[in-house]
Amino acid sequence: MSIKIAAFSGSLRKDSYTTKLIKAFKHLSPDGVTVEIIDISQLPLLNQDLEADLPTAVRDLHQSIENADAIILATPEYNRSYSPVLKNALDWGSRPQGQNKWDKKPAVVLGCTPYNLGAFGAVQHLRQVLVYLNMQPVQQPEFYLAGAADKFDGQGNLIDEQTKKLITDLWNKFMDLINK
Ligand code: FNR
């Protein structure tokens, strides 16, 4: 039986390092796992007035989360927090009230930045929200990709062996959690 993972990038940028990181995770996924990168660019900004008749993009998001056995969340760091597009997706996935689609989903949280601190601040804020959403994130190993500009080639492939090893270690822990 195949395990379905829904992956979310917190960057909409065409050449996003965060999205390249998600693609590297997908590339290194174990046998029997399918990773679908979910497009969150079409989600409207959350407005409770829209809940009376949910937009198609929100319905599609709900379906993607419900279909997934587990979730990958990757975020850039904006002013020491995670990105608003990711928050928007997390919030829509928790609505309408009492219908939190993220409930009990195993997850991994990835921070990514071209700078030095590995998006630590973004990951910590994101992890805090996952507690409230009752998700089950892998706690260790943590994953912070610093210096992302040097970790991918011109085609967007991950070229850093240490990062590949960390991704493989994280996949092992993620699969243990999913199979529990
Ligand atoms: C940034 N950037 C940034 N980087 C970082 O390491 N810590 C930070 O607090 C911030 N703050 C920040 C705020 C805003 C509004 C922007 C637009 C950017 C830089 C950021 O890491 C860089 O633009 C990345 O390339 C964004 O990730 P993607 O789009 O490459 O995935």
Q: What is the ipTM of this complex?
A: 0.99
Every domain of the chain and the residues it spans? 3-179
Q: Is 79 in the pocket of ligand 1 (CB under 6 A)?
A: yes
73-112 per-residue burial string, b: 16 or more CB within 10 A, e: under 16: bbbbbbeebbbebbbbbbebbbbeeeebbbeebbbbbbbb
Q: How far is CA 142 from CA 18, 22, 48, 125, in A?
A: 16, 15, 34, 14
H or E element: which one contains 5?
strand 3-9
Is pLDDT above 90 for 95?
yes
CATH fold of 3-179, please?
Answer: Rossmann fold (3.40.50)
Q: What is the mean pLDDT of the chain?
A: 98
Tokens of 118: 């590995």
Whole-model pTM over 0.90? yes
Tell which one of 113, 116, 126, 144 to mutate to probe ligand 1, the residue whose CB is within 8 A of the most ligand atoms.
Answer: 113
Which pLDDT band holds residue 94 (cuts at 50, 70, 90)? very high
Angle at 41 between CA 113 and CA 119, to 5 degrees: 15
Q: From 16, 75, 86, 115, give the residue whose CB has the most ligand 1 atoms within 8 Å, as the site to mutate.
A: 115
Reported confidence tier of residue 24, pLDDT bands at 50, 70, 90: very high
**Residue corresponding to tokens 């660019």:** 41
Location of structure tokens 């989600």: 43
pLDDT digits (tens, 9 = 90+) for 111-153: 999 999 999 999 999 999 999 999 999 999 999 999 999 999 9
Q: What is the band of 25 on the pLDDT scale with cuts at 50, 70, 90?
A: very high
